[in-house]
Copies of this chain bind each other. A is one copy, B any other.
Amino acid sequence: MKTISRKQEIITVASSLFNEKGYKAVSMRDIAKAIDIKAASLYNHIKSKQEILSEIILKVAEEFTTGMENVVSENISAIKKVEKVIELHIDITVNHSQALAALNNDWMHLEEKDLIAFVKMREDYEENFRKIIKQGMDTGEIKSYHPEVILFSILSTLRTLYLWYQKRGKVDVNILKKDMVSVLIKGIV
């Protein structure tokens, strides 16, 4: 019978606390207490508080990056790509909803090296999304509103999904995907 490593437990517990109060408001003693050990003992498993944050954030950031790269490289219509991006977000949200809180709110507390890497990933991601939308406008699949407004509107919804997912409890993933695709792509009128 295999149990998860203590390091993973620390990261999971920290994710949950960061999710509630934010990185800066959670102390190493808070994390330790939640695991029922002393703060100093954490350092047998992790290098620093920074390391915890960076593991949480960069791991999901990489999932977004590779997921987006897969979508972009597929030979399908722009709308179909947008659909796949929506599904990517929902999958990650369902599996790592607490990590997304840190990713969205605490990325600025990454140390310089990680911060630069993160911002780069984020910009590349947005740029890829932008290209998909422009492709859709070129082919006439997507209406020619200001592309930045469309990009922002969809991405905002997807990035905030973790908040609603946590509040409403476990919604069925497939229903969620279907509804989100409908609302985001077809609009409400």
Taking beta carbons and an 8 Å cutoff, which residues of A are in contact with B? 20-22, 24-25, 79, 105-106, 108-109, 141-143, 145-146, 148-150, 152-154, 156-157, 159-161, 164, 168, 176, 179-180, 182-189
Contact between chains at B146 and A179 (CB < 8 Å): yes
Say which residue of B109, B146, B179 sits within 8 Å of A25 (CB atoms): B109
Closest to A21 in B: B108
- Which residues of B are found within 8 Å of A21, using beta-carbon distances? 108-109
The complex is assembled from copies of this chain, and their number is 2
Contact between chains at A157 and B152 (CB < 8 Å): yes
Among all A-B residue pairs, the 4 with the closest Cβ atoms: A187-B187, A24-B24, A156-B160, A149-B179
- Which residues of B are found within 8 Å of A79, using beta-carbon distances? 189
Beyond the given pairs A185-B188, A185-B189, A187-B189, 13 more chain A to chain B contacts, judged by CB atoms under 8 angstroms and listed by A's residue number, are A20-B108, A142-B189, A143-B188, A145-B183, A145-B188, A149-B179, A149-B180, A153-B157, A153-B184, A156-B157, A156-B164, A184-B187, A184-B188
